[in-house]
Amino acid sequence: MATRRRYTGEFKAKVSLEALRGDKTIQEIAARHKVHPNQVSAWKQRAMEGLREVFSKGTERSRGDHEAEVRDLHAKIGELTVERDFLAKGLK
């Protein structure tokens, strides 16, 4: 039974960028890097999807993430305040 090969993100990015350039066919790129052509196509597709996310509403998405993080932190502060007050009452 063959073991699975694991590829670094850097390697995947390099191969997918080469495929996105379109200078060579998927078959040529796959042969050059010793990976299956389907893998090169999959990495190319993921790279294209990732680029769409980078250029579409990036600031809105990050603002929403920031607001959610702030809400979580405020909730945590509230929990810690309640715990502190409870423990302070117990010590008196």
Asked if residue 3 belongs to a domain, the reply is no
Sign of the four-CA dihedral 62, 66, 67, 71:
positive
Asked if residue 2 belongs to a domain, the reply is no
pLDDT digits (tens, 9 = 90+) for 18-61: 999 999 999 999 999 999 999 999 999 999 988 877 777 656 66
Q: Encoding tokens for residue 77?
A: 């502060």
How does 58-91 read in b/e, with b if 16+ C-beta sit within 10 Å?
Answer: eeeeeeeeeeeeeeeeeeeeeeeeeeeeeeeeee
Asked if residue 4 belongs to a domain, the reply is no
Asked if residue 56 belongs to a domain, the reply is yes
Query: Which residue range is the domain that position 13 belongs to?
Result: 9-91
**pLDDT, position 10:** 93
Q: How many domains does the chain have?
A: 1
